[in-house]
Structure 1
Amino acid sequence: MENINFEFARKKNGSCEFEDFLDSLPNPDRDKLLALILKIEEVGIITASKMEWVKKLTDNVFEVRSKRASNIQRAFYFHVVNNRYIITHGLTKKTQKTPAEDIKHAKQILDAYLKGELLNE
């Protein structure tokens, strides 16, 4: 079993879009999404993919798929190296299709990361 680690993308000023998104969610939705992220860290990406907890959106952008009742949350992430993954931001889904702007935004955060514009641990 692969042990993986999710981190949140953080700008040099300390702000974090994903934490802001979590703060905007009702507690049950936030708790479900965070519990799912921890579960994925435990079981690994391959198992999570089989369980449809994660989905590949582009070559290097993926999503964590959380649902509680009719509330659907997505957390976008990319793979860095080895078992390290960075969550860029999240959204509450209102349509069937993942908005192209959100995939584009995740790619922009990935580019900023690759250019060293984010805080790195």
Structure 2
Amino acid sequence: MSDKYSAEYVEYEGKYPFKQFLEILNDDEEVEVYASIDILIEMLNNNNRIPEKLSKSLKDGIFELRVKHFNRISRCLYFFVKGKKIYFTNGFIKKTQRTPINEIEKAS
């Protein structure tokens, strides 16, 4: 077992919803999401406090990674499991001020 955090993707009914989300992004946005994941992991591995502008706790152990793109904003939902694993469940393009309940439920 590694002593460093790493990211995985949740499989649901033979599919990977987070990977499907990445496919709707353009190339630059996809790079920005991966860069944000790398920053999150680096901060966790260095025991740094995670700023709310990067990640926020939603409810019941579900967190959102906040990624600003050129002309829109995406959210990537994830949770932690024992062994320093981060599981990304799904993502969406932010269109409202609050995180939609149905997106949080998908992550649960």
TM-score range, shorter chain: 0.7 to 0.9
Q: What is the rounded CA distance, in whole Å, between the counterparts of 1:12 and 1:29 in structure 2?
A: 26
Structure 2 residue 54 is matched with structure 1 residue 53: yes
Judge conservation of contact 2:29–2:69 (CA < 8 Å) in 1. yes
Task: Measure how far apart 1:104 and its partner are.
Answer: 1.0
1:44 aligns with 2:63: no
TM-score (norm 2): 0.86
CA RMSD, 1 decimal: 1.9
Q: Which runs of 4+ in 1 moved over 3 A?
A: 45-48
Q: State whether residues 64 and 75 of structure 1, in contact with CA within 8 Å, keep that contact through their aligned partners in structure 2.
A: yes
CA contact (8 A) 1:29 1:71 kept: no
Deviation at 1:72, TM superposition (A): 0.5
Q: Which runs of 5+ in 1 are unaligned?
A: 108-121
Whole-Å Cα distance in 1 between the matches of residues 100 and 12 of structure 2? Answer: 23
Cα gap change, 1:32 to 1:76, in 2 (>3 Å): same
Q: Which amino acid aligns with 1:40?
A: L
How far 1:41 moved relative to its partner? 1.1
* C-alpha deviation, 1:8, in angstroms: 0.5
- Aligned residues of 1:6 and 1:85 also touching (Cα < 8 A): yes
- Residue 68 of structure 1 corresponds to 69
Gaps of 5+ in 2: none
Number of residue pairs matched by the alignment: 105
For residue 40 of structure 1, report the CA deviation from its aligned partner: 1.1
Amino acid at match of 2:101: A
Indicate conservation of the 8 Å contact 1:78/1:85, yes or no. yes
Q: Deviations over 1:30-72 (max 9, x none)?
A: 1101111011111218636226311100031101100012310
- Taking the TM superposition and a 5 Å limit, the aligned residue runs for 1:1-121 are 3-11=4-12, 13=14, 15-44=15-44, 47=48, 49-50=50-51, 52-107=53-108
Instruction: Give TM-score, length-normalised by structure 1.
Output: 0.78
